[in-house]
Chain A
Amino acid sequence: MGNIISAAIFLPLIGFVISGGFGRFMPKMLVGAISTLVVLCSFVCSIILFNNLSESHTFYKLILFKWIHTGNIDIEFSFLADKLSVWMMLIITGVGSLIHLYSIGYMHSDKGFHKFFAYLNLFIFSMLTLVLGANYVMLFFGWEGVGLCSYLLIGFWYENTENGYAARKAFIMNRIGDLGLLLGIFTLFNQIGTTDFHKVFGAAGSFSNGTLEIICILLFIGAIGKSAQIPLFTWLPDAMAGPTPVSALIHAATMVTAGIYLIARSGILFVNAEMASTLVLIIGMLTALIASTIALKQNDIKKVLAYSTVSQLGYMFVALGVGAYTTALFHVTTHAFFKALLFLGSGSVIHAMGGEQDIRKMGGLKQKLKITHLTFLIGTLAISGVPMLSGFFSKDEILAKSLYGLPTTGSVVFTVLAITSLFTAIYMFRMYFLTFYGNFRGTEDQKHHLHESPLNMTIPLMVLAFLSITGGVLGLSSIFSHHHFMNDYFSKLLYDRAIPHPSHFFEWTVLVVSAFLLAIVIFLTHKKYVNQGFVPVKDEDEKGLEKVLGKKYYLDEIYQYTFLRPVEWLGKVLYKIFDRSVIDGVVNFSGNFALSAGKTLRKVQNGNIESYLLAMVIGVVACLILIQII
């Protein structure tokens, strides 16, 4: 199995070297084909691993070499394939290969074609390292690696100045989280001298309560940065500056779920850390709600989806906070399907519109983009939680677990999440109707240019649409089946808290009520945006609440004035006043004193370097020779 694991991880790295190093000299199709194939091979490897592991409760560990071995620190460069990492592998390489295939079409006329595929392959490699690393340091390698790829891909179109800022913002906000994760790793080292997953989990019982809470909170800070939660979520919407396939792969389906993976992986620690879990719960809940309200008033098709991602990640954190790690991973999975689908669909729209992303300038696209329209509709229905589609089952499970898992506060969390679900349906259908229904609001040029995307772009859409519909079978609720596939699969691996099963009555109620509410939402949004032809006003005409939401509660401005400006100010004061005047002033005072002494000394020197050099070297050599003789 070691070879299979190595192949799965290192094939994308080889792909990166090929397209990065030699892509310039190869035809575009070849670069695209090679890059896609290596990820597809990885996917095949993942399936083989999955088949081998699903039978039994075992794992494969691959130790390559000792990375650091010094003092009390001993870190192996090693990979661990168990059910959890293989599950993530399937998502990463599966969705990954679809997105690679899609990108061949999407990027076909871009001059940085080979660079794009090189970065994508590097990303897959880093992401696989993240989920397959056998200790927290290996995880951190991948963690930073995906951050770097994200930086490179957000800044991919570097000629646009804005993109450079967006890329840097993403990297730095991630690094704030990374510091937390790193400190968590150090704490583990100080406590038990290792970060190997199995050893850490074996020692989980030996931590004092306080230490456990601290470790978990530090790990969670890492997750906040990477998975774009409050207060570090503002980088994700800006990250939409990258090409759309990147948004689908990195900023929706895989990288941003790394935080969920981290906590699910560390479940045995979190399940006993009540304070940390509560924090995860609260942050997740607030993020889910706040991001969904912002999404209500966004007019950029990708920004809506970005806030939607932030909000959905919030759901996953709620599940983690409740202690339902399997449920969180269930939502990770279904979300990967329908959000990748929606992003790729929006990419297809943007492609057809010649780069336009503003939904106010679209409309009526459903006639021209038939496949895109249909698949986008499926994605919209799935994320809104229409019963029997994948999103319904995973979201329903989160709602149920939070209601049943939290004796006192469960109903509050349940209500907040239910409201958020409603908002989700509203902003999704608002976007859907504005984009695909009504009259076309773009330019004549664009209208002329409108076309359905080529087959290599629509096939991934169709596959993902299929998965978005059927993904629910991974975790059917008890009214449909006695078997919950993911619960069975992860039963001996994840440390889910025991939460009573919801009653059939509850399940039916949720199903019926949500179907009813969705029908109302669809009816109302259809009436407003299609029948009445309402189009959101221009940015500068926004007023009141609309403006606050459009400006995402002025968070960027608040950070600007509370963090960035003070640091800039401090830098100026320290440099211009403190450093130049105070410290250097003292130095120069003593310096001047020395200078006057120097003036006297100068008289005995003639200023010719060669003579200095010669004298010095001859002197030293002479001494050496003298000694040898004596």
Chain B
Amino acid sequence: MILILIPLIAALINLVFKDKMSRVFAVSVSVLQLIYTGFILSGFDKKASGFQNSEFYEWYAQLGLNFSFAIDGISMVLILLTNIGGLLILISSLGNHYPNTARLNSLILLMLAALNGVFLSTNGLLFYVFWELALIPIYFIVGIWGGENRIKITFKFFIYTFLGSLLMLIALIFVYLNTPGAHSFEWSEMIKANLSPGESALVLWSFFIAFAIKMPVFPFHTWQPDTYSVAPSQGTMLLSGIMLKMGVFGMIRWMYPISANACNCNYYVFMVFAIVSIVYAAIIAIMQNDIKRVIAWSSISHVGLIAAGVMTWKAEGVQGGILQMFTHGINIIGLFFIVEVIERRLHTRDLNQMGGLAKNARGFSVVYLIILLGSVAVPLTNGFPGEFLLLSATFKSNTIMGIVAGLTIIFCAVYMLRIYQFSMFGKEKENAVVIGRLTISEYLTLGLVVFFVILIGIFPGLILDISETSVNSLLNPAGGQVIP
């Protein structure tokens, strides 16, 4: 609970500071938060199945709404991501000159509180409350600090995701009404709900749509490229780095265990959506000329693979999904920050306006390349182990789908190397602006990302081991529900 309270209270205190102080304050809070996360991780028992560090306080007992928080291996990884990501985002914002930075920082901190809440809740309704709470700050971040056309795009984003959330709420309430004994929103009770296969399928679909919109998965993705490209960098990083993981997490934590009764055939449909996402988004990414949009579409493609792997509901797939959530989160924050570093100097994101940037950007061209390679999933970068597990699980589940999903390793190389080639290689444009030296905060952000790219690439076990036991105990009771 302290993980939620620290940023929540800090968000409030932060409002009294002027912009300059607020930056220092926000970064120190997120450092503190990360230290506390490290403290929890050190006390976390990787071998124990089930939840740890449980906390329970009654809130509105008549509604079944309680403050119940707990950590298992799966949420541990995501908490780690949220708080590392939060730190990266706040450090990266040090170089910005937005008006009203203090308010922006408050919103980011509030967002982090809500995200921690989403991952920690073991009460269905509480999960929903935090889920919605996370939507509000990001709505303002994009709506106020966003680029051209922001009002219309933000509105679409808000309504779209809100619609998904409502479906989820309905599903949650429906399950609540069917829990054995007294009605309860507690996770441990909800997974025991007596649902007929038909009811399960309905719940499953409601959950799926809610989560698919958040990630997003084809065909629920049309809000994403616009929102990502119009949002300020920190907003895009929050959305892509951490927030979309809520969707995948929701699938693993809530959707599968609760609607385990539903027909396996639904998963096939979901997998088809996910696989289409991978290829569809990749092909479109190749055609984009705005770097930020290339990365936005690449995110749809990558998340499609995560979804496909998780939906196999095999240990490799779910573990790969969890690992990839972590690495995708770190890498995409890095990539969007690279876009910002370029945009700060060139004042454009158009690939056709770039070229030859490598000439005066020694350090930058190296970190850029390493982070890019992480996304392309070159072995010994962090992208590879997750992609390997995900593809392996997908291929095992269904050969054809596995092969189609595998196309990602080709397409991803095409669009990622294309942006590197067009921005860094080639002749310099006339009256070109150079990248030159990076500032300290830029070095720090990118340096940390590179550190994780290499660390997790060589030792993926650092993350996999955390969630191993939890994933196994989650999968085994539902063993019969696995897609053949």
| Complexed CA–CA distance, A161 and B9 (Å) | 53
Given A176-B410, A620-B8, does the pair A591, B160 have CB atoms closer than 8 Å?
yes
Contacts of B402 in A (CB 8 A): 183, 186
| Complexed CA–CA distance, A159 and B358 (Å) | 9
State which residues 540-579 of A face B: CB under 8 Å: 567-568, 570-572, 574-575, 579
State which residues 573-603 of A face B: CB under 8 Å: 574-575, 579, 583-584, 587-588, 590-591, 594-595, 598
A575 with B460: CB separation less than 8 A: no
| Complexed CA–CA distance, A65 and B373 (Å) | 23
B59 with A623: CB separation less than 8 A: yes
Selected from B110, B286, B379, B380, the residue in CB contact (under 8 A) with A571 is: B286
| Complexed CA–CA distance, A610 and B314 (Å) | 46
A72 with B406: CB separation less than 8 A: no
Q: A170 to chain B: closest CB distance in Å?
A: 10
Contacts of B438 in A (CB 8 A): none
B133 with A190: CB separation less than 8 A: no
A168 with B418: CB separation less than 8 A: yes
A172 within 8 A of B: yes
A158 with B106: CB separation less than 8 A: no
State which residues 142-173 of B face A: CB under 8 Å: 144, 155-156, 159-160, 163
Contacts of B378 in A (CB 8 A): 144-145, 148
B424 with A158: CB separation less than 8 A: yes
B5 within 8 A of A: yes
Selected from B286, B356, B406, B413, the residue in CB contact (under 8 A) with A171 is: B413
B67 with A145: CB separation less than 8 A: no
| A-contacting 9-mer, from B17-25, B191-199, B391-399 | B391-399
A621 with B395: CB separation less than 8 A: no
| B-contacting 9-mer, from A256-264, A322-330, A351-359, A611-619 | A611-619
B421 with A70: CB separation less than 8 A: no
Contacts of A160 in B (CB 8 A): 426
A158 with B426: CB separation less than 8 A: yes
| Complexed CA–CA distance, A610 and B106 (Å) | 10
Total number of residue pairs linking A and B with CB closer than 8 Å: 184
B223 within 8 A of A: yes
Selected from A144, A186, A612, the residue in CB contact (under 8 A) with B136 is: A612
Given A158-B425, A571-B286, A587-B222, does the pair A72, B8 have CB atoms closer than 8 Å?
no
A574 with B283: CB separation less than 8 A: yes
A140 with B140: CB separation less than 8 A: no
Please tell me the size bucket of the interface on B.
35 or more
Given A141-B380, A568-B286, A624-B67, does the pair A71, B9 have CB atoms closer than 8 Å?
no
B427 within 8 A of A: yes
| Complexed CA–CA distance, A613 and B410 (Å) | 45
Classify the secondary structure of A's interface with B: helix
Q: A444 to chain B: closest CB distance in Å?
A: 29
| Complexed CA–CA distance, A574 and B425 (Å) | 29
A140, closest chain B residue (CB): B379
B287 with A572: CB separation less than 8 A: yes
| Complexed CA–CA distance, A584 and B223 (Å) | 8
A522 within 8 A of B: no
Q: B65 to chain A: closest CB distance in Å?
A: 10
Q: Mark B269-285, 1 if CB is under 8 A from A, else 0.
A: 00000000000100110
Q: B122 to chain A: closest CB distance in Å?
A: 16
B392 with A145: CB separation less than 8 A: no
Given A161-B427, A574-B284, A620-B8, does the pair A591, B468 have CB atoms closer than 8 Å?
no
B425 with A155: CB separation less than 8 A: yes
| Complexed CA–CA distance, A10 and B367 (Å) | 22
A159 with B8: CB separation less than 8 A: no
A179 within 8 A of B: yes
A496 within 8 A of B: no
Q: Mark A152-166, 1 if CB is under 8 A from B, else 0.
A: 000100111101110
A528 within 8 A of B: no
Q: B404 to chain A: closest CB distance in Å?
A: 11
B103 with A609: CB separation less than 8 A: yes
B410 with A164: CB separation less than 8 A: no
Contacts of A47 in B (CB 8 A): none
Cβ-closest 10 pairs across A and B: A71-B315, A164-B425, A571-B287, A71-B316, A141-B379, A158-B425, A584-B222, A164-B421, A627-B57, A594-B159
A sample of 20 inter-chain contacts (CB < 8 A) reads: A141-B379, A141-B380, A148-B373, A158-B356, A159-B426, A159-B427, A167-B421, A182-B388, A186-B402, A579-B222, A583-B219, A587-B156, A591-B155, A595-B159, A609-B144, A612-B140, A613-B11, A614-B15, A617-B110, A624-B57
Given A67-B460, A72-B315, 10 new contacts (CB under 8 A):
A65-B461, A71-B393, A73-B316, A145-B378, A182-B388, A190-B395, A190-B396, A587-B156, A587-B160, A616-B136
